[in-house]
Amino acid sequence: MKIIDFESKSWFFLSDNTDYYIDVSCNLSFVGFNMLIRLESLELNEYHSRGSVYLRSLAKDIQQLALSKYSERNIKGPAERLANEAVIKFLEEGRNTDINNQNI
């Protein structure tokens, strides 16, 4: 899986061959959690039409309706592990780039 787009501290947009996912940071009261949702064809069409604007809107919707509208779509298992690994790698590479740029 690889990161295609992101909004810091809010969501990551990932692809894995032909599947696309959004990993959204959610909060309910004092509990924080992530939801990994595979985009359905209509959502993917909206992304192709509107780009990051649509992803921000979708992420906000997921954050507000995580436990009702999106709870059944939350992905666990191997896809979740691959998404987590991709996010960690992306963040580590970003951190290393920042460190390398400071040393120049």
Answer whether 0.85 is exceeded by the pTM.
yes
Band of pLDDT at residue 1, cut at 50, 70 and 90: very high
40-84: pLDDT as tens digits: 999 999 999 999 999 999 999 999 999 999 999 999 999 999 999
Do 16 and 82 contact (CB within 8 A), yes or no? Answer: yes
To the nearest 10 degrees (0 to 180), the angle between helices 52-65 and 41-50 is 130
77-95: pLDDT as tens digits: 999 999 999 999 999 998 6
